[in-house]
Amino acid sequence: MKQPWKTDKWFVSPWNYEPEVTSKFQFPPAKDIKIHDITLRDGEQQAGIAYTLEDKMKIAKALAEAGVHRIETGMPAVSKEDERAIREIVQANFGPEIFAFSRCMVADVKLAKECGVQGVVVEIPSSEHIIKHAYGWELQKAIDLSIEATLLAKELGLYTVWFPIDASRADMNWFLDLIEKISTEGHMDALAVVDTFGGISPHAIPHLIKRVRERVKKPLEPHFHDDFGMGVANTLMARACGCTVAHTTVTGIGERAGNAAMEELVLALLTMYGIDIGIKTEKFYSLSQLVRELSHTQIPSNRPIVGETLLSVESGIVTSWVRRCRDENPLELGPFLPSLVGQRPVEIVLGKSSGIDSVAEWLEKIGGDASQEQREAIVLKVKDASIKKKGLLTEQEFKKIVDSVVHG
């Protein structure tokens, strides 16, 4: 019998679905939950990443094919190349809603409109210390620029997301007064709840959302960074508090430690919360590889969901599990099937932790055979060779060991 925590594609904890847990959730209907992907803007702000127009077109197309709802294509004021890329993505009409990012400046908002986008995310420093120390402004300047730019965006017919930089570290009363003022005297169709430096904890999110909602009756869009590894957890908490749109990047790339990872957020919603938002999870691996290639960045080999060695098994004990379960009970080997995210099947590799079943697997792979005593000797030689190499063995190295034991 299928349960929400155990289907033919995933097997997670039943504790996730206990009524005492789920009764506290305020998730919006699945049809209203959207991904606002910022790989092409905030993702590109990761040091060393520089996308060409062609790169941006490829990534935008792949995001659309994965079912992403909104794409933030970049900041047209950054360069003519970025402006052209935004215009061409709009003209390509891949399917998702297309947004541009701009400063709270009249010229930036006008340029976004000229690019043909449907919406604009307008940023302004919102913590009094950032306004003073990083920008050298009087506080009133941030207010005046926000009102002017957001009213223009409204006049131009752009869906407007007001984006207060460093909101989570601002003086709480100042911030709450600020967002109320911009909401009433300026304009916003939605408010981005911005944790620029990843400094808020998951347990603080419900209180933050509650206090913001007391002042602003607009949709809220969590934008959380990952400096403490909390980006996805914080975004999930915000979703559970009723936020519909979340800002994410592919594999979490972005400024400093990056942003909430799209694939982690979507898969957690699907498996741990039973919420399918229409994203094609089977595209995750290929999408991550495309972004990695075009970004010239390295993805940690054991990164959740899309890591290269995520499904490599070296341990002798776990190898025994694989050999017993992979055909009829594959979900005993992990929380989801590799195919759910477009990954390759589980692979048994040879190294220091390998055991008798590892040798048996590889003997079958090369069409070889050995007695039990010989297999035990092979295991010892595999371990020794791996220690000396400080890594995994190749098929050729394994064949050499087998030959030395069996025919030695």
Do 128 and 206 share a domain, yes or no?
A: yes
What pTM value is reported for the model? 0.95
pLDDT of residue 1: 57
Residues 286 and 331 both lie in one domain? no
Whether residue 212 contacts residue 238, with contact meaning beta carbons closer than 8 Å, is answered with no
* Res. 408: pLDDT tops 80: no
Looking at the fold, whether 282 and 333 belong to one and the same domain comes out as: no
Indicate if 138 and 256 belong to the same structural domain: yes
Structural domain that includes position 30: 14-295
323 and 271 share a domain?
Answer: no
- Is 189 found in the same domain as 217? yes
Residue 228 within any structural domain of the chain: yes
Q: Does 280 lie in the same domain as 218? A: yes
Task: Please indicate, yes or no, if residue 114 is contained in any of the structural domains.
Answer: yes
pLDDT digits (tens, 9 = 90+) for 100-147: 999 999 999 999 999 999 999 999 999 999 999 999 999 999 999 999
Same domain, 195 and 265: yes
pLDDT tens-place string over residues 238-262: 999 999 999 999 999 999 999 999 9
Helix 356-366 to helix 372-389 angle, to the nearest 10 degrees? 100
Asked if 257 and 354 sit in the same domain, the reply is no
Count of domains for the chain: 2
Residue 305 domain-assigned? no
Q: Does residue 300 sit within a domain?
A: no
For the stretch 203-235, what's the b/e string if a residue is b when 16 or more beta carbons lie within 10 angstroms of its beta carbon? eebeebbeebeebbebbbbbbbbbbeebbbbbb
| Among the listed residues 358, 282, 407, 294, the one whose alpha carbon sits nearest the alpha carbon of residue 46 | 294
Beta-carbon neighbour count of residue 384 at 10 Å?
12
35 belongs to a structural domain: yes
pLDDT for 357 beyond 60: yes
Across the chain, mean pLDDT equals 97
In whole angstroms, give the CA distance from residue 373 to residue 124.
Answer: 71
Alpha-carbon torsion angle 167, 172, 174, 176, nearest 10: 80
Shared domain for 197 and 327, answered yes or no, is: no
State which H helix or E strand residue 405 sits in.
helix 395-406
pLDDT tops 90 at residue 355: yes
Residue 94 within a domain = yes
| Residue that is last in its domain, among 244, 262, 295 | 295
Boundary (domain end) residue, out of 265, 295, 325: 295
What CATH number corresponds to the domain at position 136?
A: 3.20.20.70
Say yes or no: 226 and 123 in one domain: yes
Q: Which residues contact 288 (CB under 8 A, 6 or more apart)?
A: 250, 251, 263, 299, 305, 306
pLDDT band at residue 2 using 50, 70 and 90 as cut-offs: confident
Q: Is residue 390 part of a domain?
A: yes
The alpha carbon of 178 is separated from its chain's Cα centroid by a whole number of angstroms, namely 30
303 domain-assigned:
no
| Listed residue (173, 184, 194) closest to 243, CA to CA | 194
50-95 pLDDT, tens per residue? 999 999 999 999 999 999 999 999 999 999 999 999 999 999 999 9
Q: Are residues 187 and 276 in the same domain?
A: yes
Task: Kindly report, residue by residue over 182-234, the tens digit of the pLDDT.
Answer: 999 999 999 999 999 999 999 999 999 999 999 999 999 999 999 999 999 99
pLDDT tens for residues 155-182?
A: 999 999 999 999 999 999 999 999 999 9
Q: Which H helix or E strand runs over 213?
A: helix 205-215
